[in-house]
A and B are shown apart, each in its own frame.
Chain A
Amino acid sequence: MKTRIDPIQLSVLQRRLKSITEEMGLTLLRTTRSPILNEARDFVTGLYDAQGRMLEQTEYIPVLAFALQPACENVLRFFGDDIHPGDVILHNDVFSGGNQNNDVAVFKPIFHGKKLVAWTACKGHQADIGGAVRGGYNPEAREVWQEALRIPAVKIHERGKLRRDVWNLIFANIRLKIVEEDIKAQIGGCTVGERGYLALVERFGRQRLEALLAQLFDSTETMVRKEIRAIPDGTYRGESWAFYDGVSDGSKMKINLAVSVRGDEVTFDFSGSSPQTPGFVNAPYSATASALMLTFLMLINPDIPHNDGILRPIRIVNPEGSFLNARFPAATTFGNSITGPTSDAIFRAFSQALPKMVSAGWNRFLGFAISGHDPRHDRPYVDILFLSLKGGSGGTWGADGYDHIGLINCAGGILAQDYEMFEIHDPHFLLKHEYLPDSAGAGRWRGGLGVETEFVIRGENVMGVAFGDGVEEEARAFGFFGGKPGSRNAITLRYPNGETRTAKTKEIIRGIPQGTVFHQLAGGGGGYGDPRERPAELVAADVSNGVVSIEAARKDYGYEEN
Chain B
Amino acid sequence: MTFKVGIDVGGTFTDFLLMDRQGRTSVHKELSTPFDPSIAVLSGLAALAALRAMPFERFVRDLELIVHGTTVTTNAVLTGNAARTGLLATRGFRDALEMRRGVREEMYNNRYHPPPPIVPRRLRLPVTERVDAEGNIVTPLHEEDVISSLEEFRNQGVEAVAICFLHAHANRQNEEAAARLVREALPDAYVSASCEVLPQVRFYERTSTTVLNAGVGPILSRYLRNLTQKLEAARYRGKLLIMQSNGGVASPATVARLAAMTLLSGPAAAPAAGLALGYQDFISVDMGGTSFDAALVRGGQPAVTTSGTVNRYALALPSMEINTIGAGGGSIAWIDDGGLLRMGPQSAGADPGPACYGRGGAQPTCTDANLVLGYLSAEFFAGGRVRLDLQASKAAIGERIGKRLGMDVVAAAHGMYQVINVNMASAIREISVQKGYDPREFPLICAGGAGPIHGAAIAAELGIRRIVVPRDSSIFCAAGMLRTDLKHDFVRSCARVLPRGKDSRVKALLAEMQREARATLKTEGIGSAAQRFLYSMDLRYLGQYHEVNVGVPPKMLEDWKAMRERFHQRHDALYGYSLREERTPVELLNLRLTAIGVTRKPASGREPRRPASCRQAFKGKRSVYLGGRFSAVPVYDGERLGHGNRLAGPAIIESVNTTLVVPRGWNAEYDALGSCILKT
Contact = CB atoms under 8 A, between A and B. Distances in A.
B103 A415 contact: yes
B99 A62 contact: no
A222 interface: yes
Contact of A420 (B95, B201, B429): B201
Contacts of B497: 377
A560 interface: no
B210 to A, nearest CB: 14
Interface stretch (B338-346, B474-482, B625-633): B338-346
A12 B418 contact: yes
Nearest to B94: A434
Interface in A476-498: none
A220 B107 contact: no
Contact of B122 (A26, A31, A546): A546
Interface string B112-133: 1110000011100000000011
Interface stretch (A42-50, A262-270, A402-410, A465-473): A402-410
A303 interface: yes
Contacts of A22: 434
Nearest to B92: A432
Contacts of B110: 298, 359, 393-394, 396, 399
B394 interface: no
A12 B203 contact: no
A402 B114 contact: yes
A197 to B, nearest CB: 14
A1 to B, nearest CB: 17
Contacts of B120: 541, 545
A421 interface: yes
A154 interface: no
A10 interface: yes
A22 B202 CA distance: 27
A19 B107 contact: no
Given A23-B434, A402-B114, A419-B93, A223 B201 contact: no
Interface stretch (A32-40, A164-172, A250-258, A328-336): A32-40
A476 B204 CA distance: 29
Consensus secondary structure, chain A interface: mixed
A89 B144 CA distance: 65
B203 A419 contact: yes
User: What range describes how many residues of B lie at the interface?
Assistant: 35 or more
Interface in A360-382: 377
A211 interface: no
Contacts of A248: none
B422 interface: yes
B546 interface: yes
Interface stretch (A96-104, A422-430, A512-520): A422-430
Interface string B143-186: 00000000000000000000000110100000000000000000
B419 A181 contact: no
Consensus secondary structure, chain B interface: loop
A11 B108 contact: no
A294 interface: yes
Nearest to B419: A11
A454 B91 CA distance: 13
B519 interface: no
A226 B340 CA distance: 14
A412 interface: yes
Contact of A403 (B99, B109, B111): B99
Interface residues of A, number: 80
Given A7-B341, A30-B574, A301-B337, A411 B169 contact: no
A423 B133 contact: yes
A396 B340 contact: no
Which residue of A7, A188, A425, A432 has the most chain B CB atoms within 10 A of its CB atom?
A7
A23 B432 CA distance: 11
Contact of B132 (A411, A429, A454): A429
A12 B434 CA distance: 19
Contact of B340 (A14, A416, A419, A432): A14
A454 B102 CA distance: 17
Nearest to A295: B108
Contacts of A424: 133, 201, 495
A359 B109 CA distance: 11
A404 B202 contact: no
A410 B336 CA distance: 27
A454 B497 CA distance: 28
Nearest to A449: B95
A223 B342 CA distance: 14
B544 interface: yes
B157 to A, nearest CB: 15
B363 to A, nearest CB: 18
Nearest to A62: B107
A15 interface: yes
Nearest to B495: A424
Given A30-B575, A433-B92, A421 B111 contact: no
Interface of B: 92-96, 98-99, 101-114, 120-122, 132-133, 166-167, 169, 201-205, 335-342, 405-406, 414-415, 418-419, 422-423, 426, 429, 433-434, 495, 497, 542-546, 574-577, 585
10 contacts: A4-B406, A5-B339, A220-B338, A222-B337, A294-B108, A305-B338, A399-B112, A415-B101, A419-B204, A423-B132
